[in-house]
Structures are given as structure tokens and as C-alpha cells.
Amino acid sequence: MKALKIIIYISFLAVMFASCADLNPLPKDRLASELFWKTTDDAIFASNGVYSILGGQWRYTSMDAYSDISHFVLQWRAESQMEKHTFDASSNVVADEWSHYYRIVQAANTFLENVDLVEELEVDLKSRLIAEVKTLRAFAYINLVMFYGDVPLLITNPDIQEAKSITRTSANEIWNFISEELSSSSVNLPIEQIERGRVTKGVALGLKARAMLYAGRYQEAKLAAKAVMDMEAYKIYESYAKLFDYEGETASEIMFARQYAKNLNAHEIFNFYVPNSLYTQRCQAVPTKKLVDAYLMKTTGLPIENPASGFDPKNPYTNRDPRLNHTVYVSGDKLPDGMILNTLPGNGSGDDISISAENVTPTGWYFKKYVNDADYVDPYNCGVNLVYLRYAEILLTYAEASVELGEINQSVLNALNEIRKRPDVNMPEVTTLDQTELREIIRRERMVELAMEGHRLFDIRRWRIGEEVIPGTVKGMTYENSGGVLVTVELSGYVKEFKKDRHYLWPIPFREIDLNPNLIQNTGY
């Protein structure tokens, strides 16, 4: 029952702490300051309130659809503008992400400003709760910097007048803050929590590894990742297929996940990815050719574009990296209702890409990751947790940081092969010690291993490859037509752009600058 407490109580504090969506707050609720902050339970519930603001299913699943590996099927949505990079500072998505992460900051600051009022709070528990909340605040700032660059660094909540004069803090200074905050917080966090879903020592260090990798501070990233590895508290789960199912929720690979439960605190990720033939007009995002083509050939371990790979374009899904089958539904796959998926044009099914229904996949594929058979009968009541950090990312961070530092040895290969040798993946081992080759291998590995977990957009930004991978049309499956000719699906009327002097950052939301002219806009907006 304890594992569910964080789910049951979080909604109450979400309302108390997260009423303001921008940096110009309304006066604080007097109920919180006058009647709250009296008991140990108040402090615990308040910390739960910060967890409750963590992004839900829509935010989680949209992140990779802003990149090159996923595509929004509803082109009229604001999210489609983000994918195409045709947005501006008035976009509601740009404003919503800003507000979302500053709500976490605001809730965290409220907790930190008031927790000392709880006189009965035991010292060790207080230290742990403070460390948890600071870790969540650092998590918010990691995302804010990667979205917007320089942003206001707030460690206390400003009053209305202060909010009108806030200026942006340099990204470098915020990375310093994040590094110090996560290091100090890790000291007061346990290796394992009684309540599943709370951050731990490994989570704080793991998020530091992520942040420092994003910041290009490879030595710090490597050391933080190595500290997590040396804890020996985590290991790669045996089944990639089941890692994102209910069975995988307690896997030792899962380090940090947003907690959900059917009938208590549910979401609808099944609907976000569901094939149209199962539930019509539900699907929101689908895989692209860029993602599907990234999966290597299993026998040779070579990319499909390599003539020696053994790839057969007439049987494109045969003998591929098994993670493709665990991540993407392709024609011929069995669906949760027992039927067989068929997306080929003219087949007459609800997934026929030639029919004019807006939620039918336009690429010929659907996502399978997180689509669990158990949710088929009630797709609005999904209880599977959404993973924010897992051990595979730590190993990839260690490998990448080592390679960028030029510190290439067997430990780098061991980290990569530990992921690739997962029993239901079992890809050929990496053996090269060449820096250029390893860089390419690691970047591909991140794309396929972490697909639809929200990493790709930030990877594109930090690698500065946006102008190479974003522009152009969205492409889908290749199939053999009635004349025996191979045809590749292409959304010819849907063209994405990317300007390197503009699109590596989102703009500061227009409404924020309207309220506070001191927030100078990013270049190009």
C-alpha cells in the first residue's frame, strides 16, 4: 500500500502550489501559510505535491515528435508547428512548456521556503525531503535550459513587483547550479526508497550525469555516471519488450518514473499510439522512416544502407535489431485485439494508409512501446508508469562522455554491450575503439534504445545536427506495389524546416516578455 501513497495524495498539493502558470504570480494562498505546515504529514504531502506536477502522458509522448523520429498525424495541432519548426513566440506549446517547468520550480520553492515551519519534523526525514524537492527543481531547470537557453534562475518565489523585473540567468550559471544542487542532494538521499516513485541517490547522480552531458561537461558527466554504476543498485532488465509494460515497473533498470495506477491516477498513452483499426480517431503520433531505418541488422550488426549488411528491401523487417519489433508495429504484427495489422494501400482495413481518415498512420507504422494488451479494453485507464530515467541511459552517458574525452577503453565497450546483450535484444557486440566510429554507434544507440522516451530533440540540439536531420518531408514505409516496384511513402505536402541561427532554442513566450520586458528574446524571434 505504501507504494501507492504518492499517487493517492499528490493531487491535493498540486492545486495548492501550482496555481500560477508564469513568473508573475498571484498572491500565495493563505490557507497554505496559516493552516498548513504544522505536522510531519503536511511536509510529506507537500513534497508529494511537487511530484504531482511532473509531466503526464501528452508531454512525455510529444517530446520525440518534435524531432525527426516521430510525426504528429494531426497537422492542424500546434504541436505540428513545433515539429515543422514553423512556430513563433506566440505558440501555446512554447508557453505551456515554460509554465509547466516553472510550476515545478514554484512548488519546490514553496516547499523549501516553508518546511522549517514544521517543528516536529525529524531531522533525517527533513533532509531527505529537501533533497528530493531540490532534485525535482534541478530536473525542471535541465529542461528549461535545453528548451530556452538562458532563463531566470529562481531559488525563492518572487512577489509581483519582483517578477516584473526578473532577468535571464546565463545557461552556464544554471548548469553550475544544477551540478551543485544534485551533488549536494545526493548526499541526503537513500539508495532505495520505501515508496516507489520518490527520487533516490542514484536519480540525483543520474540526472547530474544527464545535465553535464547536455552541457558538454564530459568529465563531470562521466564521473556522475560512474558513481551510479559503482552503486551496483541497478542493472539492465532482461526484457526490453516488457520493460514498458506493467511487469517492468519494478525492474531494477527503472530509476525514476512518473507513478500511475489504474482507477486512481491513470493516463491514456494507449490512445496516443493506438492503431486506427482498434480505436478510430485516437492516434496522435507515429514513427518515421528515420527511426525505423536506424535499427541495425541483427546478424551482421551493420546499418541497412551498408551493402554488406544483408538487408533485403523486399523484406525490410526481417533479421533486424529486435528493439524495432518491440518499439514499432509494422504490417503483419498481431494487435492487442488479436487482429493482424495491415497498412498497405488498398487493403480496405482501418489502417489502410490510402484512406482519408486523419488518425490513420500516414507513414505505415504505429508505435508499440507502451501499448499494452492489458489496456485494450479500457484505453483511457492506463496505469503503466512513464519512465524518466533508467540505467541504460546511465551506461550510454558514461560511454559517450568517455568517447568525447578520448578516454576509450574496454569499460566503454562493456557499457554499450551490456545494453545490446539484453536477452531479448542480443545484438552483436561493439568491438571498435575508434573514436569516430564509437561516436556514430553511440548516437544511433541512443536513438533506438531511448526512442519515445523524450531524449531525441535535446540530443539533436546538443550535437548541433538539426540542419542535417530535421529539414525536408516526412517519409514512411517502403512497400512493393502491384507491379513489383518498391515505393516509399512520403508526405510531400508536409515540409519541415530548421534554421541553425534560430531553431536550436525555442523563443521566450510572448506573454512573458509582454509582462516583463527585461526578458530579452532569443535570436531569430
Q: What is the pLDDT of residues 414-428, one digit of tens each?
A: 999 999 999 999 999
Question: Which of 274, 214, 295 shows the shortest CA–CA distance to 461?
Answer: 214
Residue 387 has pLDDT above 60, yes or no: yes
Residue 401 has pLDDT above 50, yes or no: yes
Contacts of 125 (CB under 8 A, 6+ apart): 40, 43
Three cell numbers at 272?
496516443
Residue 447 has pLDDT above 80, yes or no: yes
Contact at 8 Å (CB) between 377 and 435?
A: no
What per-residue confidence (pLDDT) applies to 8?
37
Question: Which of 8, 107, 90 shows the shortest CA–CA distance to 49?
Answer: 107
Residue 32 has pLDDT above 70, yes or no: no
Q: What is the mean pLDDT of residues 224-230?
A: 98
Whole-angstrom distance, CA of residue 197 vs CA of residue 306: 43
Residue with cell 551540478: 179
**What percentage of the chain exceeds 70 in pLDDT?**
94
Residue 117 has pLDDT above 50, yes or no: yes
What per-residue confidence (pLDDT) applies to 33?
62
Q: What is the pLDDT of residues 132-167, one digit of tens each?
A: 999 999 999 999 999 999 999 999 999 988 888 999
Q: What is the mean pLDDT of the chain?
A: 93
Q: What is the mean pLDDT of residues 46-50?
A: 96
Q: What is the mean pLDDT of residues 121-138?
A: 98
Three cell numbers at 254?
527503472
Q: Residue 358 — pLDDT band, cuts 50, 70, 90?
A: confident
Q: What is the pLDDT of residues 248-288, one digit of tens each?
A: 999 999 999 999 999 999 999 999 999 999 999 999 999 99
Contacts of 338 (CB under 8 A, 6+ apart): none
pLDDT higher at 165 or 209: 209
Contact at 8 Å (CB) between 340 and 347?
A: no
Whole-angstrom distance, CA of residue 66 vs CA of residue 272: 15
Q: What is the pLDDT of residues 52-84, one digit of tens each?
A: 999 888 899 999 999 999 999 999 999 999 999
Whole-angstrom distance, CA of residue 283 vs CA of residue 280: 8
Question: Which of 246, 378, 265 shows the shortest CA–CA distance to 12?
Answer: 265
Q: Residue 23 — pLDDT band, cuts 50, 70, 90?
A: low
Q: What is the tally of helices (H) and strands (E) in the chain?
A: 21, 8
Looking at 1-15, 204-218, 367-381, 475-489, which range is the least confident one? 1-15
Global confidence as pTM = 0.94
Half-sphere exposure of 152 (CA within 13 A, CB side): 28
Please give the angle made by the CA atoms of 446, 498 and 468, to the nearest 5 degrees: 50
How many angstroms from the chain centroid is the CA of residue 170? 24
